[in-house]
Amino acid sequence: MNKVNLLQKLSLINDHWNPRIIGELNGQYLKLVKFQGPFTWHHHEAEDEMFLVVKGRFRMEFREAGDGESAQNGQREIWLEEGEFCIVPRGVEHRPVADEEAQVLLFEPATTLNTGNVKNQLTRQELGWL
């Protein structure tokens, strides 16, 4: 058994939107990633994703089925501060946005692609371990 220090691992990351694996259990990965700016709108067909803020803050924008008229522009957002997390349920369109750098822990199935149903320049197919 080894222990892992999140801040030490995060200090090794010098880019954005490029998740690294730091642990695996029960078919799920723990990943660390630094956010800056807006990500890509996407969803995951069959996977729930957890986002926990280790340092900084960001907002998760999301659209749920049925939001249309009730939410402004059919879109909602929640701000996540240090020590807070959210779980994005499968099927929900989401986009993390970090006005300033945010350092984030992800917990999700090993098969989860960062951009979900979308493939673009932000897609990371093969993730390295830290």
Residues that bind Ni ion (CB under 5 A): 49
Q: How far is the CB of 42 from Ni ion (least distance, A)?
A: 6
Q: Whose Cβ is closer to Ni ion: residue 49's or residue 105's?
A: 49
Residues 6+ apart with CB under 8 A from 9: 20, 22, 32, 130
- Judged by CB, which is closer to Ni ion: 9, or 49? 49
Q: Which is nearer to Ni ion, 10 or 88 (CB)?
A: 88
- Least distance between Ni ion and beta carbon 94 (Å): 6
| CA–CA distance, 56 with 84 (Å, rounded to integer) | 11
User: Residue 49: is it exposed, middle or buried by C-beta count within 10 angstroms (0-12/13-18/19+)?
Assistant: buried
Least Å distance, CB 19 to Ni ion, is 10
| CA end-to-end distance (rounded Å), the chain | 16
CB of 45 to Ni ion, least distance (A): 11
The DSSP letter of residue 8 is H
CB-wise, 11 or 111, nearer to Ni ion? 111
